[in-house]
């Protein structure tokens, strides 16, 4: 009797469980996993050509995750080390950055104080061999893996250098490379200190705090914190950076997701460095995630003015989970909210259009929030700057010369002819220099197409498809002629834009990252505006609605 009672209870429990939403969900998961495994097995067995199972599975996983959001990613074992480097800013290597330019592996930057910098490598060197492995026979990814390695192990590079006939062989010993989160800090005139924060890897908060203290000791009465092009990183470091300018115990960010136990709030935990010093935070369209937490939090407390462009709009938080065979998956698990309660996520990935595309949060659904001083701010669209200074896109010719490596190549040529250039912030690419550059370009091959030329080409294609080309041929030809004439003047029309790109690339040859920052000060509208407002206390206080 007892056995029957237990059996009835067990069956009843299973029957009840089978009709719960959770049980239905688990059944659907198990069913689809079985279908997927079956399809994978059958394709590998019967497909007409040989199939690489690793490639097929990677394609399937990537396609699945792409239906969620761009930040949920699969990380196979061979990419884990690169992922770790991005998140920690540390790796075993020689401290050199490479890029593939026109099929060649080129040294594009070196970190000061590390083996590459000390050992005679130069920006612009073409690496042709690494430990006797010819790089022309492997991919750039494989070359990067060869460059990295265990600390203390040797590596040799054979490089081809402009102006030197024979290849040069250099020997290095790998060291622990720590990429600084603050590649530059210094005074920029008028008792204003400047620091650029490029990442949020471990110790970012400590590095920013040390930079602020050093700048104050140098006489800084105001601070510019530059977060442009900063993609974000560790949330804890964003909290620590906010803590530099905010009292202990202040709310910085709240995380909310599907799993309640993952929901959490983050408050400042340390005594602040300075609660009074005026601060300007500079952002642009590529300032994302942790950068937006810092900008948004300081804005919510009216602790800083925000200068530049509307930020990227990434209000999502990722968590990394371990999978089998040393692989990982990075999953979006929550949304974050600034102290006022706003989520700045700009794209709504949970409601895709029928074609799979994603739309921005419409203005009608954006909510209004109030800062500490009663200023109005909004959610659903990134961080809106208090002083908006939008930038036009690079001209097609500028983008082409950058992407095709010609700005870089000319900087290498210039550096080979000039032993020194004086101070970085005072360097000027003269009119005579520019004419030399234009003359040099005449010996090179490059291509580009302006948006107008692209539209005109599409018009021709459409006209031919609709059999209207004969009627439209004369005006189309006239437009083509006008565009061709205009194109001849592009090097003159966009001279100032190209000059700035050349100055930055050339100065980097002599002063690395530090120089590339300093040379921009004289022409940087965001920096100039930030300094202007920081030094005008009445304007600064008015923007922040201070009495």
CA–CA gap between residue 254 and residue 361 (Å, rounded): 20
- CATH number of the structural domain 184-391: 3.90.226.10
Band of the pLDDT at 453, cuts 50, 70, 90?
confident
Do the domains 90-178 and 184-391 sit in the same CATH topology, yes or no? no
CA–CA gap between residue 389 and residue 375 (Å, rounded): 20
End-to-end Cα distance, the chain: 83
299 Cα distance to chain centroid: 22
pLDDT digit string (tens) for 371-390?
A: 999 999 999 889 999 999 98
> Which secondary structure element, helix H or strand E, spans residue 422, and what is its range?
none
Is the per-residue pLDDT at 72 higher than 60? Answer: yes
Enumerate the β-bridge partners of residue 310.
none
Length of the chain, in residues? 547
Tokens of 111: 């970190």
Is the per-residue pLDDT at 22 higher than 90? Answer: no
The whole-number pLDDT of residue 460 equals 86
Surface-to-core class of residue 198, CB atoms within 10 Å of its CB (0-12 exposed, 13-18 middle, 19+ buried): buried
Is the per-residue pLDDT at 344 higher than 70? Answer: yes
- Best CA proximity match to 99, nearest among 524, 374, 501, 405: 405
| Rounded alpha-carbon distances, angstroms, from residue 323 to 76, 80, 88, 229 | 9, 12, 20, 31
Pick the more confident residue, 301 or 3: 301
The whole-number pLDDT of residue 21 equals 67
Please state the pTM of the whole predicted model.
0.89
DSSP assigned state of 225: E
The whole-number pLDDT of residue 392 equals 85
Is the per-residue pLDDT at 6 higher than 60? Answer: no
Is the per-residue pLDDT at 43 higher than 80? Answer: yes
Pick the more confident residue, 87 or 175: 175
Band of the pLDDT at 11, cuts 50, 70, 90?
very low
As a whole number, mean pLDDT of residues 439-461 equals 89
Catalytic residue positions, numbered: 289, 300, 314
Is the per-residue pLDDT at 354 higher than 90? Answer: no
Tokens of 95: 């401290």
CA–CA gap between residue 277 and residue 304 (Å, rounded): 9
| Rounded alpha-carbon distances, angstroms, from residue 489 to 187, 332, 486, 529 | 39, 48, 6, 31
The whole-number pLDDT of residue 173 equals 96
The SS3 of residue 281 is: strand
Surface-to-core class of residue 507, CB atoms within 10 Å of its CB (0-12 exposed, 13-18 middle, 19+ buried): buried
Is the per-residue pLDDT at 5 higher than 60? Answer: no
The SS3 of residue 121 is: coil
Fold topology of 90-178: Pdz3 Domain (2.30.42)
pLDDT digit string (tens) for 241-287?
A: 999 999 999 999 999 998 888 899 999 999 999 999 999 999 999 99
Tokens of 40: 């994978």
Band of the pLDDT at 20, cuts 50, 70, 90?
low
The structural domains of the chain, with segments of one domain joined by +, span 90-178, 184-391, 394-547
Q: Are strands 328-337 and 316-322 parallel, antiparallel or unpaired?
A: antiparallel
pLDDT digit string (tens) for 219-249?
A: 999 999 999 999 999 999 999 999 999 999 9
């Amino acid at each position: 009797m007892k056995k029957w009672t237990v059996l009835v209870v067990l069956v009843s429990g299973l029957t009840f469980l089978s009709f719960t939403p959770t049980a239905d969900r688990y059944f659907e998961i198990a069913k689809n996993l079985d279908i997927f495994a079956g399809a994978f097995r059958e394709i590998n067995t019967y497909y007409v050509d040989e199939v690489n199972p690793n490639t097929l599975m990677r394609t399937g996983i990537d396609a699945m995750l792409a239906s969620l959001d761009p930040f949920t990613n699969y990380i196979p074992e061979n990419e884990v080390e690169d992922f770790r480097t991005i998140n920690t800013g540390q790796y075993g290597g020689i401290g050199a950055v490479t890029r593939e330019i026109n099929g060649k592996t080129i040294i594009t930057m070196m970190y000061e104080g590390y083996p590459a910098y000390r050992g005679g490598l130069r920006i612009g060197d073409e690496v042709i061999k690494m430990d006797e492995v010819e790089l022309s026979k492997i991919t750039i990814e494989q070359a990067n893996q060869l460059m990295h390695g265990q600390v203390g192990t040797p590596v040799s590079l054979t490089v081809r250098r402009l102006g030197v006939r024979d290849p040069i062989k250099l020997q290095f010993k790998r060291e622990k490379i720590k990429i600084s989160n603050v590649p530059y800090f210094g005074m920029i005139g008028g008792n204003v200190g400047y620091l650029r924060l490029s990442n949020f890897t471990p110790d970012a908060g400590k590095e920013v705090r040390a930079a602020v203290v050093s700048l104050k000791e140098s006489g800084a009465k105001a601070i510019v914190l530059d977060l442009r092009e900063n993609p974000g990183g560790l949330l804890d470091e964003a909290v620590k950076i906010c803590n530099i300018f905010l009292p202990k115990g202040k709310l910085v960010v709240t995380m909310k997701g599907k799993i309640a136990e993952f929901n959490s709030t983050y408050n400042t935990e340390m005594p602040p460095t300075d609660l009074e010093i005026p601060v300007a935070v500079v952002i642009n369209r590529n300032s994302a995630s942790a950068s937006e937490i810092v900008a948004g939090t300081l804005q919510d407390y009216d602790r800083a003015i925000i200068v530049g462009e509307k930020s990227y709009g990434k209000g999502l938080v990722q968590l990394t989970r371990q999978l089998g065979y040393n692989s990982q998956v990075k999953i979006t698990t929550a949304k974050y909210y600034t102290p006022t309660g706003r989520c700045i996520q700009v794209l709504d990935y949970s409601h895709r259009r029928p074609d799979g595309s994603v739309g921005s949060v419409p203005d009608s659904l954006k909510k209004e929030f109030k800062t500490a001083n009663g200023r109005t701010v909004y959610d659903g669209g990134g961080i809106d700057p208090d002083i908006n200074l939008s930038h036009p896109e690079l001209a097609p010719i500028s983008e082409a010369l950058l992407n095709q490596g010609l700005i870089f190549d000319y900087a290498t040529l210039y550096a080979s002819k000039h032993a020194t250039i004086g101070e970085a912030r005072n360097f000027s690419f003269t009119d005579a220099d520019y004419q030399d550059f234009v003359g040099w370009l005449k010996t090179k091959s490059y291509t580009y197409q302006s948006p107008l030329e692209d539209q005109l080409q599409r018009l021709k294609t459409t006209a031919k498809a609709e059999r209207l080309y004969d009627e439209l041929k004369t005006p189309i030809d006239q437009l083509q002629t006008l565009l061709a004439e205009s194109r001849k003047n592009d090097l003159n029309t966009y001279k100032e834009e190209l000059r700035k790109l050349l100055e930055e690339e050339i100065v980097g040859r002599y002063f690395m990252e530090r120089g590339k920052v300093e040379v921009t000060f004289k022409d940087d509208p965001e920096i100039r505006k930030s300094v202007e407002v920081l030094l005008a206390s009445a304007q600064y206080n008015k923007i922040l609605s201070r009495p």
